[in-house]
Amino acid sequence: MIDLHTHSLFSDGELVPSELVRRAYIKGYKAIAITDHVDCSNLDFVVPRICDFALKSQGEFPTDIIPGAEITHVPPAMIGGAVQRARELGAKIVVVHGQTPVEPVIEGTNRAGIESGADILAHPGLISKEEVILAAQKGVALEITARKGHCLTNGHVARLAKDIGAMLVINTDAHSPSDLIDIDFARVVLLGAGLNSKDIDTIMLNTEAIVKKTLGG
By C-alpha distance, which of 33, 126, 112 is closest to 72? 112
The per-residue pLDDT for 120 is 98
Domain ranges of the chain: 2-215
The CATH superfamily label for domain 2-215 reads: Metal-dependent hydrolases (3.20.20.140)
pLDDT of 217 strictly over 80: no
* The pTM of the whole model exceeds 0.95: yes
- In whole angstroms, how far apart are CA 32 and each of 23, 27, 181, 184, 194? 11, 11, 12, 17, 25
pLDDT of 111 strictly over 60: yes
Name the CA radius of gyration of the chain, rounded.
16
pLDDT digits (tens, 9 = 90+) for 120-129: 999 999 999 9
pLDDT digits (tens, 9 = 90+) for 63-80: 999 999 999 999 999 999
The per-residue pLDDT for 89 is 98
d(CA 146, CA 172): 5
Looking at residues 143-161, what average pLDDT do you find?
A: 98
pLDDT digits (tens, 9 = 90+) for 20-45: 999 999 999 999 999 999 999 999 99
Identify the bridge partners of residue 65 per DSSP, sorted by sequence position. 32
pLDDT of 58 strictly over 90: no
CB burial readout 198-217, b (16+ within 10 A) else e: ebbeebbebbeebbeebeee
Phi-psi region at 7: left, alpha or beta (left = phi > 0; alpha = psi -120 to 50): beta
Q: Count of residues for the chain?
A: 217
Give backbone dihedrals phi and psi of 164, rounded to 5 degrees, phi first.
-95, -25
User: Do 139 and 116 meet the contact criterion of CB atoms below 8 Å apart?
Assistant: no
The per-residue pLDDT for 124 is 98
DSSP structure string for 28-92:
T-SEEEE--EE-TTTHHHHHHHHHHHHHHHBTTBSSEEEEEEEE-S--HHHHHHHHHHHHHTT-S
